[in-house]
Each structure stands twice: as C-alpha cells, then as structure tokens.
C-alpha cells in the first residue's frame, strides 16, 4: 500500500496526514493517530465501543512476535477486507476509529493529570510533615533552654 492508495481510501474521511511509522505508515487527523498500515494491512484504532464490530467481521487485533512470544495490541484492529472496495463504509469506520483515538487520548491526559496531582499532594504532605516536625523540635529545644 502506498500513500496514493491510502489517500484515496480515506478521502471521504477528510484530510489525513500519512507519515512513515515503523515499517509502514501512521494515519492521523487533527494531530490524533487513528490508523496504522503495517504488513500490507490497515489497522484502525478501537476501544470497548468498537471492538465488537471488528469481532463480528472476523477481524483480529494487531499482532507481532517478539522473542518467541506473540504480542497482541488490542487497541488496533484490522480493517475488514471487504471494506477496501467500499470507500463510503471505510469513511464511517475511520470516523469511529478517530473517535476511539480521541477518547484514548483524553483518558491518557486525564491519567497524567491525576498522577501529577497525586505527586503534588505527596510533595505538599512531605513539606507539611517537615514543617510540623521542625516546629516540634524547635518547641522542645526552647523548653530545654528555659528549664536550664
């Protein structure tokens, strides 16, 4: 699959960016990657909302072997073969994949914010504990000085 074929395949979706990625291409729109083209197949981004649709078509998630183990990437599923001849339906599937990619991006950003907030809370607590400990030590030192 070359860029020209992919541009035609996703023409109904709207403007897409096609970039070299791994040994194939990544396809994105609005800065969000929603499809991969690897080993002569198109894989669309999927989530719990769209995976059943792929399964009903007999599609499989992206898989590769590494160090003798089969790795399965459940977030990208192969575009059903029958769709390569139906640009209108590819457009619909691409929109669903783009929406899944947006949801994944938002969830990832939310996790980062939560993790950052948790780290900030830990740092604030440590500082507060140090201040309390410092005040306690200072009070104890003053008591010893006054009793001497």
The 10s digit of each residue's pLDDT in 85-108 is 998 999 999 999 999 999 999 988
The per-residue pLDDT for 109 is: 81
Q: Computed from CA positions of residues 108, 96, 76, 8, in that sequence, does the dihedral angle turn out positive or negative?
A: negative
Cβ atoms 34, 47 nearer than 8 A? no
The per-residue pLDDT for 86 is: 92
Q: Computed from CA positions of residues 91, 95, 100, 104, in that sequence, does the dihedral angle turn out positive or negative?
A: positive
Which of 99, 22, 25, 100 has the alpha carbon at shortest distance from 66?
Answer: 22
Give the global pTM: 0.72
The per-residue pLDDT for 1 is: 80
The 10s digit of each residue's pLDDT in 14-45 is 999 999 988 899 999 999 999 999 999 999 99
* pLDDT tier, 57 (very low <50, low <70, confident <90, very high otherwise): very high
Q: How many CA atoms lie within 13 A of 11 on its CB side?
A: 9
Q: How many CB atoms lie within 10 A of CB 60?
A: 12
List of domains in the chain: 3-113 (3.30.1460.30)
* pLDDT tier, 115 (very low <50, low <70, confident <90, very high otherwise): low
């Amino acid at each position: 699959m070359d860029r020209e074929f992919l541009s035609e395949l996703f023409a109904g979706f709207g403007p897409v960016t096609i970039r070299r990625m791994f040994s194939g291409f990544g396809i994105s729109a609005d800065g969000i990657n929603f499809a991969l083209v690897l080993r002569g197949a198109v894989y669309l981004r999927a989530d719990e909302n769209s995976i059943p649709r792929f399964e009903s078509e007999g599609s499989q998630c992206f898989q590769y072997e590494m160090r003798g183990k089969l790795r399965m990437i459940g977030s990208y599923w192969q575009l059903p073969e029958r769709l390569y001849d139906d640009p209108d339906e590819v457009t619909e599937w691409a929109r669903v994949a783009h929406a899944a990619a947006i949801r994944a991006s938002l969830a990832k950003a939310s996790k980062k914010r939560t993790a950052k907030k948790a780290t900030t809370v830990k740092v604030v607590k440590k500082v507060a504990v140090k201040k309390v400990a410092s005040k306690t030590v200072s009070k104890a030192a003053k008591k010893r000085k006054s009793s001497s």
